[in-house]
Amino acid sequence: MRAEIVELQGIVDRLLQGRGIIKVLEAGCGSVSHLRFNQDVDLVGIDISEKQLLRNTNLRESVLGDIQSYEFPPHSFDVIVCWDVLEHLPDPQAALWRFAAAVNDGGLIVLKLPNVLSLKGLVTKWTPHAVHVFAYRRLQGISPPDDEDGGPFRTYLRFSIAPNAIRRFAAGQGLQIAHQQTYDVASSDWLRRRKFYHFAYRVLCSAARILSLGVLGDSEYVIILRKP
């Protein structure tokens, strides 16, 4: 996803152009940040894992808490970034409501997440956690750590975070769609290197799109919501 991050970074930079110091919340921040900001940044991170917070050295302030229930003051952030987190929540809409309340007027909510309405999304949603661990080990060549802080984490992938559902949520909260982009795991280097799996996945995706009459789409998406 390197190229997609570079493109997204440019879009975020343009949307924030001309601002001074900005206050950024990384929601479910983990140990690493995915976006960088040209401006002076007051960076706050919230995560349920104290170990992950301690590993993230970019944060000015660390908050140990659950984004589904933590009450940030209204209008307290210029940018909220939530990267591959909502799919792991049993109640992602609760987090979205809190984001909408916590972002400043003119602020951005940047969401990156899997598309549940895709072949990969539905397989992920309806298969047990052991299958996800196998995919990490066999396909991506990643050995999950022994503790619960390094993933892969349990995945719920509620239909309430499908792209159309997020757009409806935005409309209901008076948020604008500043940018939306989809892409597919088929373009990732780790899958391309495994030619058999890559070919099989592409064939199955094509069949799924046809059989679903176009309802199923790319496996990942990014959406930027802007508060007027």
Would the pTM count as exceeding 0.85?
yes
Mean pLDDT to the nearest integer, 107-127: 96
The pLDDT-based confidence of 142 (bands split at 50, 70, 90) is low
User: Is CATH 3.30.365.10 the classification given to domain 2-226?
Assistant: no
Mean pLDDT to the nearest integer, 127-148: 73
Burial of 165 (0-12, 13-18, 19+ CB in 10 A): middle
Residue 134 tokens, joined: 């196998």
The pLDDT-based confidence of 22 (bands split at 50, 70, 90) is very high
pLDDT per residue as tens digits for the range 25-52: 999 998 778 888 876 889 999 999 999 9
Q: Which residues contact 178 (CB under 8 A, 6 or more apart)?
A: 15, 108, 224, 225, 226
Domain layout of the chain by residue ranges: 2-226
pLDDT confidence of residue 148 = 57
